[in-house]
């Protein structure tokens, strides 16, 4: 009998020593700090002027130059982790990687400068209060405004006469992702008192709400406009499965953006739009039980196809904000769902083991399956929005 008790006791000890499922935001952030230090160590032997982006098929880190749309996410992650840890080494790294992006303030070659500068310089200014960061944000907003056409009432996403976009025959393509740039315009209006930024952001949000969304509040990826009349010419996709499908990350961008549009303007139509998008996502019959969506809600082969942890992280971060803007059962549902997503992302199979994955935190994201680019890999923006969601939850 004593032997049996001894065996049971040993089994209990072993069980307690095994890693327990992560659920507390601070646990996730402590892990993120350690994993990011591993990434910084890896970057020490790579090009220090190129930013972490993903991992290739051979398991090596891929990096981008400052003009890639993903360039702001790694500096932004560093600022969040410094804010959490007060680790001065992380602060110095955040400063270094952020200041690499300084030339972006004069760049108007594509629309993604909102991602690039708001995530990096935006967090830097919010945390430090250094007005030099704010100045870069304002100048970037001015550069972004060069892509705004008042006849269309929206910001041009991609130059239609370049690369693969030219083959599509588009005239003035606007993608749902472009909504995310509006936060930078709202901030620039707030910082300068210039309502031009605000009016352009509202116009773009309204135009997108009018033409990008189907009756069920799923969104098209691309709407092509006539640059003279502003009429919508084509409803298509670039990264989704089909023109008629609901590309998961596109739905996430819409949810996130209309939530902050309401926060920045107080216009109820944006709150209603955000709730409609949330309901489309959360009530979708093909949303998995762990709330980490497939790369497209209409992808062929479900359930035997790829998940997109990046879409899940964006959705979680957005739902936390939406819960604060709503009341009652809806608010509780948004908050609880966000917590569920973050908890699941914080554990296997989505979170990498410490010291692996080239220092990226999450696995199983999809960049663009139609382009056969970054499929089932870690992505810098998946980590950014996951860390952001953790920071929001702990507050």
Is the distance from CB of 176 to CB of 111 less than 8 angstroms? no
**Any binding-site annotation on 177?**
yes
* Residue 12: predicted pLDDT: 38
Is the distance from CB of 241 to CB of 294 less than 8 angstroms? no
* Residue 321: predicted pLDDT: 98
H helix or E strand, kind and range, residue 92: helix 88-99
H helix or E strand, kind and range, residue 235: strand 232-236
* Residue 148: predicted pLDDT: 98
The dihedral formed by the CA atoms of 384, 243, 179 and 181, expressed in degrees to the nearest 10: 60
CA distance 249 to 254: 9
CA distance 32 to 359: 9
Distance of CA 39 to the CA centre of its chain: 20
Long-range contacts of 139-142 (CB under 8 A, 24+ apart): 139/105, 139/106, 140/104, 140/105, 140/113, 140/114, 140/116, 140/184, 141/184, 141/185, 141/187, 141/188, 141/197, 142/188
Q: Which domains does the chain have, with CATH numbers?
A: 40-145 (no CATH), 147-238 (no CATH), 247-395 (1.50.10.10)
Give the pLDDT means over successive 10-residue stretches in the chain (395 positions). Answer: 40 38 83 97 82 96 97 98 97 97 97 97 98 98 98 96 81 98 98 98 98 98 98 97 98 98 98 98 98 98 98 98 98 98 98 97 98 97 98 95
* Residue 86: predicted pLDDT: 98
Residues assigned a catalytic role: 112, 177
| Orientation angle between helical segments 380-394 and 328-345, nearest 10 degrees | 130
**Any binding-site annotation on 64?**
no
Is the distance from CB of 184 to CB of 201 less than 8 angstroms? no
* Residue 13: predicted pLDDT: 37
* Residue 14: predicted pLDDT: 36
Our CA angle for 86, 92, 96, nearest 5°, is: 140
């Amino acid at each position: 009998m004593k032997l049996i008790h001894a065996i049971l006791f040993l089994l209990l000890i072993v069980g307690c020593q095994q890693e327990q499922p992560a659920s507390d935001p601070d646990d996730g952030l402590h892990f993120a700090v350690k994993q990011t230090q591993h990434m910084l160590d890896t970057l020490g032997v790579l090009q220090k002027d190129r930013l972490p982006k993903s991992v290739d098929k051979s398991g090596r880190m891929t990096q981008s130059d400052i003009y890639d749309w993903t360039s702001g996410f790694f500096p932004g992650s560093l600022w969040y982790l410094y804010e959490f840890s007060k680790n001065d080494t992380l602060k110095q790294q955040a400063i270094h990687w952020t200041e690499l992006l300084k030339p972006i303030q004069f760049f108007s070659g594509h629309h993604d400068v909102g991602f690039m500068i708001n995530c990096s310089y935006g967090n830097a200014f919010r945390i430090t209060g250094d007005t030099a960061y704010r100045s870069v944000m304002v100048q970037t907003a001015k550069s972004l405004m060069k892509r705004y056409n008042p006849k269309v009432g929206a910001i041009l996403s991609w130059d239609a006469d370049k690369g693969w976009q030219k083959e599509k025959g588009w005239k003035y393509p606007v993608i749902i992702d472009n909504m995310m740039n509006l936060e930078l315009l709202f901030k620039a209006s707030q910082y300068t008192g210039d309502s031009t930024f605000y009016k352009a952001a509202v116009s773009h949000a309204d135009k997108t709400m009018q033409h990008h969304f189907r009756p069920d509040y799923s969104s098209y990826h691309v709407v092509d406009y006539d640059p003279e009349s502003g009429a919508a010419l084509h409803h298509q996709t670039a990264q989704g499965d089909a023109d008629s499908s609901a590309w998961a990350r596109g739905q996430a961008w819409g949810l996130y953006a209309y939530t902050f549009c309401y926060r920045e303007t107080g216009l109820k139509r944006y709150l209603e739009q955000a709730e409609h998008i949330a309901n489309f996502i959360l009530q979708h019959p093909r949303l998995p039980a762990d709330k980490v969506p497939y790369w497209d809600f209409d992808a062929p082969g479900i359930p035997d196809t790829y998940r997109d942890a990046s879409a899940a992280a964006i959705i979680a971060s957005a739902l936390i904000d939406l819960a604060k803007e709503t009341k009652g059962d809806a608010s509780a549902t948004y908050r609880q769902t966000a917590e569920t997503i973050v908890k699941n992302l914080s554990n296997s199979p989505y979170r990498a083991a410490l010291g692996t994955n080239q220092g990226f935190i999450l696995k199983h994201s999809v960049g663009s399956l139609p382009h056969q680019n970054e499929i089932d890999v870690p992505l810098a923006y998946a980590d950014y929005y996951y860390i952001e969601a953790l920071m929001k939850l702990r507050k």
